[in-house]
Structure 1
Amino acid sequence: MLKQTTTRERVTQLTHEIKSHSEPFRRIVDQVSQVLVGQEKLVHRMLVGLLANGHLLIEGVPGLAKTTAVASLAKAINTGFQRLQFTPDLLPADLVGTQVYRPQDQTFVVQKGPIFSNLILADEINRAPAKVQSALLEAMQERQVTIGGETFPLDNPFLVMATQNPVEQEGTYRLPEAQTDRFMLKVIVDYPNRDEELQILERMSKTAAKFDVQPVTSPAEILAARELVDQIYVDSKVKNYVVDLVMATRNPESYGMNLSEFIQFGGSPRATINLTLAAKANAFLAGRGYVTPADVKEIALDVLRHRVMVTYEAEAEERTSESIVMEILNHVQAP
């Protein structure tokens, strides 16, 4: 009983701290919403990735303000931002940098590439060849870059937001599973509704439409918020719920679902870790010092949709990884 009281008091105190430290993130939303219309989910997921130290894969057709969203976020945080346009002829050196020979000194000097920034927008990532993708993979996973045998740590915070076009596949390279698994979230950006479309028209139909996003927080506040995210309480029932969701993607029969013929590979242990971290970040943004099952369920589809590999049988029956994850979410009982 004493232990429960102590935990309750600690969670209450943490909630008070989070309410004050989450205020800058509400200001970020206000600033970004001055530019974006109807992309609340995308903005929320970007903040989740920022708080949970995880990368985002953003999928949507061209023209849905994916680039604008990331650029606006960087301005609101007052941090470094680099947009990298991925093309089939891109080289790893174009991304991470290279060694340049200086004849006057007869020495090689490291010239760092655009990856050395805080927020990286990897536009149309699936247009880059395998060597470039592997160079980005080291930066995403290890938070470091190797140039000419020398290793350089990347700035902190460091967040990659990669976009890909789901329609046009000519001249693209399929992202390998090892790379997609490095993304904490895969966010699908859809078309705006009619009212949002009208608002976009009224706001942006100018030859020089310009909106100034004011910096409302700093990288130091982001890092301080991450320390609080790490302290957020996760009850054992919620932990078991997270594990059950991921295990159900591997062994659906154990949970009473006949999905084995549709699932080639389920979520890895990284999915369990990322789902927990994302749920903690979700709780932080809600101003709470504890995670609820609703936090897990709200973010689970974005964490799992790119980690469940479907079989040919699933494709023949037009079953997608997203529909399978939704079926698991609806079937596995939340505490």
Structure 2
Amino acid sequence: TYDTLLGTDIKGKTDGGYIRQALQRGLAIEEKTGRNPYQFGLIGSSDTHNAGGPVEEDHYFGKTGLNDGTPEGRRAVNWSGEEKLTGSNATPFYKWSAAGLAGVWAERNNREDIFAAFRRKETFATSGPRIKVRLFAGYDYPAGVFVRKDFATLAYGKGVPMGSDLALSGRGAPTFLAQATKDANSAGLQRMQIIRGWSEGGQLKEKVYDVACASGIPDARTHRCPAVAANVDTKTCRINPNIGAPELKIAWRDPDFDPKRRAFYYVRVLENPTCRWSTYEANLLGKPVRKDLPLTIQERAWSSPIWVRG
């Protein structure tokens, strides 16, 4: 399904969120043992068996070769005789989405520096678009840091990047620098969120904050961006290029910060809705998409976490 690892299924509903659960369990184990065995970075990818990466929703060609390499196999629309399919051919390939992408922040585009970025967990994941996202945390960032020409020097020099630990300093909540830019060939960004996860009395908990919005500002009480009208025509899959932000960035402090709480923080950034591959395919075939599939998806990206601890 789409985005199962971090907690959203194909229809946008919350599910187990395997990676999120692992991150939170790591904190629970750390409470008891002092060590966190689940302290890892995030990447996106896919599992395919056709020597290709079907990343783009508008150019999706399946993942298993012969079984879903044709419209009849993928079954984005209802095909006559599909009720008689057996074995692997009966797999509901239409529930699968396109591939994710792994991103790294490396000094240079060579094997050594890319591998070093993976080792320090300065990585991020996307559900397919080439969104770029990064996260820093520290205590001494100057005002207007995002417009400084030496932004990167300050971000690294006065804090830590995603994938790192940040020690509490006794000066209250740290400042998180979150930044994301859109894929030039995809929809505009709708909102940026920072998610805090922690363990409390053996219970795994999380809090989601909208921290930057393409339109307006987050509500101070609910920490949610204003509602955004849908801007994709599912009959043509055209989007309005004037809706959504090309970039979102914020210097943010946790309004509910507790210095006694060991927690992790990561960024999630969401695009405006776009057509799912099954909608593109149904439109090309001139048939309605099957009723149990959504017409749109909301692509997104996630940073690796920063762990804040004493």
Structure 2 length as normaliser, TM-score?
A: 0.23
> Comparing both structures, which one devotes a greater share of its residues to helix?
1
Structure 1 length as normaliser, TM-score?
A: 0.22
